[in-house]
């Protein structure tokens, strides 16, 4: 499978008729023709979540729980030679991740992402995962908000930023008040089969944010908008500039340590936007395996000068 950004265009033929019956657009995916159909939207954005199906206490001596939360990996070691209670397991996970990621759900452990929406992600593994009951479902993504529909709009565009080339996409119209829904659309297959970017083209952009008090800044969104991709970079013939500009991930959120990473295209120009701050800069991703975006930002001329006003101060002598 190949993760990419998928755009779904939905055209409603009789807008006024549908507007009287429905007020939401829902989007569904199917992992291949034989897979289950699953909605990837909800009334509000939802976090990624997984719940262990085995109730505690658990024998976890010398076992590790491997987690990837919103793209950030963690290893949670359990060393106690005695059964670990539900409360103790939750405390251990949250202490290692420095965030309230784990909570009780019945007798099992529930894990939730820090952020919400389709960018949120959880992956569970390691020898402790099966003991805790993460067996059939070991990864999950959050859900996007359902699109609101209105009578004067005929075309709607939904972008699944965490799509996949092997998925089939379906849509329907839904009434949030009555629960009524229209017939589901025919499946839309994605025609980007096999198109992936090689590692030689990519660089890992690292972000670590700390406030003036030395504390980590958690949940800060950083967006990367592709401005241009130079043709001089070596890419497969099947990948053109438009494909790269449309399918490089665009946003990451810092974790409990103020840390995030994102893969960018070497030599490409990006507009970097720190959400909610008004801070925007343009960078060129370097031709290296990794880089620190803050180091690169400080090297760029922001075209601002420090002005020292000439002020005459009266000195009191008595």
Residue 7: CATH number of its domain: 2.60.40
Calculated CA dihedral for residues 86, 87, 90, 92, nearest 10 degrees: -110
> Does the pLDDT value for residue 315 go beyond 70?
no
- Per-residue confidence at 256, pLDDT binned at 50, 70, 90? confident
Looking at residues 238-263, what average pLDDT do you find? 66
Please indicate, yes or no, whether residues 258 and 124 belong to a single structural domain of this protein.
Answer: no
H helix intervals, the chain: 15-21, 86-97, 127-131, 241-247, 293-299
Q: What is the pLDDT of residue 304?
A: 40
- Has residue 308 been placed in a domain? no
pLDDT classification of 15: cutoffs 50, 70, 90: low
pLDDT reported for residue 5: 63
> 310 in a domain, yes or no?
no
Q: Do residues 217 and 228 share a domain?
A: yes
Q: Which residue segment(s) compose the domain that 70 sits in?
A: 47-140
Q: Are 94 and 67 in contact (CB under 8 A)?
A: no
Is the same domain home to 37 and 149?
yes
- Whether 136 and 154 map to the same domain: the answer is no
Q: Are residues 101 and 78 in the same domain?
A: yes
Q: Is residue 314 part of a domain?
A: no
Q: Alpha carbon 89 to chain centroid distance?
A: 26
Are 213 and 293 found together in one domain? yes
The answer to the question of residue 312 being in a domain is: no
Least-confidence region, from 66-70, 82-86, 98-102, 194-198: 194-198
> Confidence band (pLDDT; 50, 70, 90) for 30?
very high
Q: Are residues 38 and 153 in the same domain?
A: yes
* Parallel/antiparallel/unpaired status of strands 102-105 and 108-116: antiparallel
* Each residue's pLDDT tens digit, 123-176: 999 999 999 999 988 999 999 999 998 877 778 878 787 777 678 889 989 999
78 vs 100: CA distance, rounded Å: 18
- pLDDT-derived band at 303 (thresholds 50, 70, 90) equals very low
Q: Are residues 176 and 211 in the same domain?
A: no
Assess whether 101 and 122 both reside in one domain.
Answer: yes
pLDDT at 255 over 80: yes
- The residues near 262 (Cβ < 8 Å, ≥ 6 apart) are 71, 204, 205, 207, 222, 224, 249, 252
Q: Are residues 232 and 99 in the same domain?
A: no
Phi, psi of 214, rounded to the nearest 5 degrees: 90, 5
Strongest mean pLDDT among 54-58, 159-163, 284-288, 289-293 = 54-58
pLDDT at 107 over 80: yes
Is 299 or 66 the better-scoring residue by pLDDT? 66
Residue 303 has what DSSP assignment? -
Q: What is the CATH number of the domain that holds 266?
A: 2.60.40.10
Q: Are residues 51 and 118 in the same domain?
A: yes
Contact predicate 219/254, CB 8 Å:
yes
pLDDT at site 296: 80
Task: Say if residue 93 is in the same domain as residue 149.
Answer: no
* Range in 56-65, 192-201, 258-267 with the lowest mean pLDDT: 192-201
- The span from the first CA to the last CA of the chain, in angstroms, equals 80
Is residue 311 assigned to a domain?
Answer: no
Tally of domains in the chain: 3
199-222 confidence digits (pLDDT tens): 777 888 999 998 888 888 888 888
pLDDT of residue 108: 96
Residue 117: inside a domain:
yes
In a domain, 180, yes or no: yes
Whether the pLDDT of residue 186 is over 70: the answer is: yes
Query: Is 286 inside a domain boundary?
Result: yes
pLDDT digits (tens, 9 = 90+) for 50-61: 999 999 999 999
pLDDT in the model for residue 247: 45
């Amino acid at each position: 499978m190949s993760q990419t950004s998928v755009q779904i265009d939905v055209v409603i033929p009789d807008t006024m008729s549908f507007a009287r019956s429905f007020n939401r657009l829902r989007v569904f995916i199917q992992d291949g023709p034989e897979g289950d159909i699953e909605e990837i939207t909800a009334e509000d954005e939802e976090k990624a979540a997984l719940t262990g199906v085995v109730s505690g206490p658990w024998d976890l001596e010398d076992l590790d729980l491997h987690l990837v939360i919103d793209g950030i990996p963690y290893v949670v070691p359990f060393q106690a030679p005695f059964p670990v209670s539900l409360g103790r397991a939750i405390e251990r996970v949250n202490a290692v991740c420095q965030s309230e990621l784990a909570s009780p759900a019945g007798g099992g452990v529930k894990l939730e992402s820090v952020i919400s929406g389709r960018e949120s992600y959880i992956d569970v593994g390691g020898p402790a995962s099966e003991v805790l009951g993460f067996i059939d479902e070991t990864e999950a993504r959050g859900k996007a908000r359902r699109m609101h529909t209105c009578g004067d709009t005929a075309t709607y565009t939904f972008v699944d930023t965490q799509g996949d080339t092997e998925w089939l996409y379906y849509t329907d119209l839904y009434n949030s008040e009555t629960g009524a829904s229209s017939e589901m659309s025919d499946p839309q297959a994605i025609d980007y089969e096999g198109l992936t970017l090689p590692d030689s083209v990519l660089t890992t952009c690292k972000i670590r944010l700390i406030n003036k008090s030395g504390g980590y800044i958690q949940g800060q969104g950083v967006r990367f908008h592709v401005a241009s991709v130079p043709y001089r970079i070596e890419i497969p013939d099947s990948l053109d500039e438009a494909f790269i500009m449309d399918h490089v991930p665009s946003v990451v959120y810092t974790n409990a340590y103020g840390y995030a990473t994102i893969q960018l295209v070497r030599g490409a120009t990006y507009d970097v936007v720190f959400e909610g701050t008004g801070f925007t800069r343009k960078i060129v991703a370097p031709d290296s395996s990794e880089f620190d975006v803050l180091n690169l930002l400080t090297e760029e001329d922001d075209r601002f000068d420090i002005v020292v006003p000439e002020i005459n101060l009266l000195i009191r002598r008595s």
